[in-house]
């Protein structure tokens, strides 16, 4: 009788462990899928802000006179692009473990907008004051890039912990997402299978 009870107890324990392992496995898969979905949403957003971010970043290596001419034509559009992207990002609901990173992405987009706006301010200035404003705009852009990079680190660590590939979220001023393989069953843009 005691042996039968022991066998039943052991059998119950094994069944409980199997059920727990399965539910834990499902939670891990769901977590990974949520993180991958979020990274995909952010990559799509990155595609839209990469052109203005690249243009703003390129201004750092252009002589002041040419910066002003470029900013005169484009600064308002750049600011609008970054602000719209920040609004879109605000509508994305991130997985809990990357919520702090999502806040950093928003901050970065607003810093990029501020940088573009500061380049626009240089239009009406000249000499040393203009040079100082251009330096400030460049520093804002560098901070935006740094904040974005920190956010990517948080997302990529969470993806790695979930057994997923890195996000491919390079800073917008780097020209868009890094080329990473698409999820299984999907094609890269322009690829015919």
Rounded to whole angstroms, the Cα distance separating 102 from 79 reads 20
6 lies in a domain? Answer: no
pLDDT higher for 93 or 1? Answer: 93
Q: What is the pLDDT of residues 33-68, one digit of tens each?
A: 999 999 999 999 999 999 999 888 887 666 666 666
158 lies in a domain? Answer: yes
Give the per-residue pLDDT at 16.
Answer: 52
What domain range is 111 assigned to?
26-174
Number of domains in the chain: 1
Give the per-residue pLDDT at 175.
Answer: 64
64 lies in a domain? Answer: yes
3-32 as b/e: b if 16+ CB within 10 A:
eeeeeeeeeeeeeeeeeeeeeeeeeeeebb
Tokens of 137: 């705009």
Tokens of 146: 């740094």
89 lies in a domain? Answer: yes
Rounded to whole angstroms, the Cα distance separating 181 from 161 reads 19
- Residue 186 scores a pLDDT above 70: no
Which residue in 69, 66, 78 sits closest to 111, CA to CA?
78
Give the per-residue pLDDT at 63.
Answer: 60
Distances from the Cα of 145 to the Cα of 36, 111, 181, 186, angstroms: 22, 9, 24, 30
87 lies in a domain? Answer: yes
- The pTM of this model reads 0.75
Rounded to whole angstroms, the Cα distance separating 183 from 162 reads 15
124 lies in a domain? Answer: yes
pLDDT higher for 106 or 189? Answer: 106
Rounded to whole angstroms, the Cα distance separating 33 from 157 reads 15
Give the per-residue pLDDT at 64.
Answer: 64
80 lies in a domain? Answer: yes
160 lies in a domain? Answer: yes
């Amino acid at each position: 009788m005691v042996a039968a009870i022991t066998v039943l107890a052991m059998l119950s324990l094994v069944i409980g462990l199997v059920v727990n392992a399965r539910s834990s496995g499902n939670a891990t898969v769901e977590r990974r899928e949520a993180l991958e979905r979020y990274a995909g949403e952010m990559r799509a957003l990155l595609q839209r802000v990469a052109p203005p971010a690249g243009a703003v970043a390129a201004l750092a290596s252009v002589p002041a006179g040419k910066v002003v001419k470029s900013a005169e034509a484009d600064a308002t559009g750049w600011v609008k692009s970054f602000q719209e992207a920040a609004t879109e990002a605000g509508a994305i609901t991130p997985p809990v473990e990357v919520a702090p990173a999502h806040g950093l992405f928003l901050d970065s987009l607003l810093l990029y907008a501020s940088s573009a706006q500061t380049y626009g301010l240089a239009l009406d200035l000249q000499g040393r004051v203009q040079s100082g404003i251009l330096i400030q705009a460049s520093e804002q852009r560098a901070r935006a890039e740094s904040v974005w990079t920190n956010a990517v680190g948080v997302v990529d660590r969470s993806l790695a912990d979930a057994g997923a590939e890195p996000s491919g979220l390079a800073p917008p001023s780097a020209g868009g997402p890094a080329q990473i393989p698409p999820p299984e069953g999907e094609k890269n843009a322009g690829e015919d299978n």
